[in-house]
Structure formats: structure tokens, C-alpha cells
Copies of this chain bind each other. A is one copy, B any other.
Amino acid sequence: MKNIYVIGVGLIGGSFALDLKALKPDVVVYGIDHNEAHLTTALELGLIDKKAILNDIKNADLVILSIPVNATLKLLPTLLDLIPKQGIVVDMGSTKEAICKVVDDHPKRSQFLANHPIAGTEFSGPTAAHVGLFKNKTNIICDIEKTDTERSKKVISIFESIGMRIRHMNAKDHDKHIAYVSHLSHISSFMLGKTVIDKEKNESNIFDMAGSGFESTVRLAKSSPEMWTPIFEQNKTNVIETLDEYIQNLTHFKKLMESEDFEAIRNEMKNTNYIKTILKGIS
């Protein structure tokens, strides 16, 4: 693998390029981005070695596709049309089912690896990219049986070398579970931010009162709407289900407050403290 094409030179694509170049100094990383300013920044920051255009994909050994998931849906079939015999296309998106479906019947389906590194943050763009983003992060590979073994092995070896833990899952299960542990967190955070801003925006000094707890809980509300809108769109059914359950739990909590059943409230919190055990496992 010598000619690497990174499409979308933001946090994920740019950080991957940095790690890959450190790992394999003889690769050439080409950048493709519809945002010309981002591409120039990526070149200046040394995330990529050269700018490229879509048609150059015909020379690619590896294509890393790290753009919003709606753009992935549109572009992925074309990339498979262009990719040469030895090449492989790997996507980095936060949804998997729709993306897998759009190339399910593509004659070169085996040259695509459906992939999701759980490494995003609330920051985006090439300036957010940094060495080591993927270290100790989980990387979910979906429907691996549909990808050519020799090609997927090479990619997995790179992911492992830059510090990722590999997990396998089918695309449908991925989307169902990621709705709970990632997509719902973003909505709960965005709506918390909205609730507080709506109430407090004319009382700016009030934000003095916000401490590290609020900051942590609302952190994801800094995330990019351009990236997250298509994620919610593609994972609509699962996300609505998680939202339903979340709203039910909040409504139940409110009812306990209204009926002054503080013993039940204490128990709710006590049971949920179990999250400590869970978080120990992931940090």
C-alpha cells in the first residue's frame, strides 16, 4: 500500500493520515476535499502530501472515506467504480446499514470495508487532527465477510498498529447499539444546551454559575450539525426508539419528583451508579 487517498481531511481523516505516515514513512497521502481551504490547511499542516481529485482514485491502494454519512452514501458507488484491482475503500462513518446497502449489489463490493472508529470528538476540520487520536479506541468493522480477506487483513493490521481495538458486528446491530451509546448522547447534550440557552440567554452572568459538570454534560452540543444531521437521518428508526425511552425515563423521574417519592429517586440514582463499573471498562 503506497498510494493512500484520504477523502475528507478533517479530524478523522487528517488524524488517520498523520498516524499512517508515522507508521509507514514511504506512503504518499493524497487529500481530496470539496472544501478547498481545508485542503490547503491540510497540506500546510502536513496531514497530506499532495492535493488530488476524484478521478485520481484509479491509482489508489487505499481510500479512507471520512466525510458526512450522507455524502458517503452518494460517493461510495463512484469510488468503487474507480478503484483499481489492488485497492480498497474504507469508510469511517457513524452509521453502517444504509452505507452497506448502497453498495450491496456493486460488482466490486469486496473492495469495500464498512468501518467505524469510535474516536470522534466535538471538534472537526483539519486543525482538529492530531497524532494518536485512535490510540486505545475501539474500531467496529461491519459485515467483514463481504470484504476480500487479503485486503481487509492489510487494513486491520494498520488499524491495530495505530493502537485500535478491533470489534466485529453486523451493520444492523451496529446502528442499533450505537444509537444508545453515541447518537442519543448527542441529542441529550444538544437539548440540554438548548434548554439552558433558551432560559438564560438574556442573563449572561448566569453562565458564571455553570461548573465543570454542566460543561461535561453539554460538551457534545459543540458538535458539527453538518456531520450529525445525516447521521440522525440515516439512523432515524433506532434514534427515535432511544429518544422514546429517554423521554419516558425523564418523564417518570419528573413524576417521582411531583409525587415527592424521593426514596424512589434515590434508588433510581443508586441503580444508575452502576455506570461507574461500565465506564471503568472503557477508559
**Residues in A lying within 8 Å of B, measured CB to CB:** 118-122, 137-138, 140, 165, 167, 174, 177-178, 180-182, 184-201, 203-223, 225-226, 228-230, 232-233, 236, 239-240, 242-247, 249-251, 253-254, 257-258, 260, 262, 265-276, 278-279, 281-283
Complex Cα–Cα for A77 and B29 (A): 71
Is the Cβ of B247 less than 8 Å from the Cβ of A187? no
Give every chain B residue within 8 A of A165 (Cβ-Cβ).
Answer: 208
Q: Are A181 and B193 in contact (CB under 8 A)?
A: no
| Residue from B137, B212, B247, B268 within 8 A of A211 (CB atoms) | B137
Question: A207 — which chain B residues lie within 8 A by C-beta?
Answer: 181, 278, 281-282
Q: Is A221 in contact with B273, judged by CB distance below 8 angstroms?
A: yes
Least CB separation from A122: chain B residue: B213
Residues on B with C-beta less than 8 A from A204 are 281
- CB-nearest residue of chain B relative to A200? B180
In Å, the complex CA distance between A273 and B226 comes to 12
Which of chain B's residues has its CB closest to A178's CB?
Answer: B209
Q: Provided the pairs A208-B165, A275-B221 are in contact, do residues A181 and B246 lie with their beta carbons within 8 angstroms?
A: no
- Judge whether A283 and B215 touch: CB under 8 Å: yes
In the complex formed, the residue of B with least CB distance to A210 is B181
Q: Given A188-B217, A216-B219, A217-B188, do A245 and B209 touch, yes or no (CB 8 Å)?
A: no
Q: Are A271 and B138 in contact (CB-based, < 8 A)?
A: no
| Contact, CB under 8 Å: A191 / B275 | no
Contact indicator A253/B208 (Cβ below 8 Å): no
Residues of B within 8 A of A253 (CB): 187, 190-191, 243
Are B119 and A211 within 8 A (Cβ)? Answer: yes
